[in-house]
């Protein structure tokens, strides 16, 4: 289903695109039918069928898209900063170091101020990083600051913050299912990211347009998580009530 959807997005010919869309629609139909007929459904979709669930899914996908943008940093550094292949690989180090140092802090902040605020902080940092990379001409000082911002964004959106949002949608005994779904939604963004970012690069002024899309995706994710009800756990409680 996901593979056919991604192939439809990336296909250049109209015939191929329509064929993959039909296959994707067929896969969705088969999955939904199996869900309704199964005695024990593969996925409990009830917590995802309301505003909180849909917004968390959208936010997780956009976080994955932000993550996918790191793949293009070396190529951008080669083009804009005239770095060699080896040096362009090391250009990611500021982001990696910032993410590694602050990852633990992100987890602790989740317990102190809640996952939604931590996610919004991380996405604001990612939006700043994307905007700095989209600002041309790219110079070393701005590039390094952007890498630090992107590292902060990774530390404050991956792992505990996003997983806690998913856990709050489900009952305690469904924690494994909730975490698996968060990984799936994030992976959808990671898989679709290179395709969507490459399309933005082609349509909007090269790498500048690409990282402008990263900034926009981060802002949209902020809106999604900001609109999730404060007590999203009531979704899980509603499921428990209906089961009773």
Residue-wise pLDDT for 8-30, tens only, equals: 776 777 777 788 788 888 887 88
Dihedral of alpha carbons 63, 120, 225, 202, sign: negative
What is the pTM assigned to this prediction?
A: 0.84
In angstroms, the CA 191 to CA 11 distance is 15
Q: What is the pLDDT of residues 152-196, one digit of tens each?
A: 999 999 888 899 998 988 888 888 888 888 988 898 899 889 989
Query: Domains in the chain, ordered, with CATH?
Result: 1-42 (no CATH), 46-243 (1.20.1250.20)
* CA proximity to 112, closest of 154, 64, 164: 164
More confident residue, 39 or 162: 162
Residue 130, CA atoms < 13 Å, CB-side half-sphere: 27
8 Å CB contact between 119 and 165: yes
Instruction: Give the model's confidence band at 238: pLDDT under 50 very low, under 70 low, under 90 confident, else very high.
Output: very low
Which pLDDT value is given to residue 55?
A: 93
More confident residue, 174 or 36: 174
């Amino acid at each position: 289903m996901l593979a056919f959807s991604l192939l439809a997005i990336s296909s250049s010919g109209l015939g191929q695109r329509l064929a993959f869309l039909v296959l994707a629609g067929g896969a969705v139909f088969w999955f939904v039918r199996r869900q309704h007929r199964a005695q024990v459904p593969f996925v409990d979709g009830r917590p995802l069928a309301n505003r909180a669930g849909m917004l968390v899914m959208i936010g997780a996908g956009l976080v994955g898209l932000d993550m996918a943008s790191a793949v293009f940093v070396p190529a951008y550094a080669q083009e804009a900063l005239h770095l060699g292949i080896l040096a362009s690989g090391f250009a990611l180090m500021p982001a990696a170091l910032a993410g590694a140092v602050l990852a633990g802090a992100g987890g602790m902040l989740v317990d102190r101020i809640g996952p939604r605020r931590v996610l919004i902080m991380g996405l604001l940092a990612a939006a700043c990083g994307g905007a700095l990379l989209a600002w041309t001409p790219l110079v070393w000082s701005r590039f390094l600051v952007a890498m630090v911002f992107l590292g902060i964004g990774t530390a404050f959106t991956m792992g505990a913050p996003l997983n806690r949002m998913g856990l709050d949608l489900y009952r305690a005994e469904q924690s494994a299912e909730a975490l698996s779904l968060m990984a799936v939604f994030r992976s959808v963004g990671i898989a679709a990211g290179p395709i969507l970012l490459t399309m933005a690069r082609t349509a909007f002024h090269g790498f500048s347009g690409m990282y402008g899309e990263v900034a926009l995706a981060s802002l949209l994710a902020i809106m999604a998580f900001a609109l999730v009800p404060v007590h999203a756990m009531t979704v899980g409680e509603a499921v428990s009530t209906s089961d009773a």
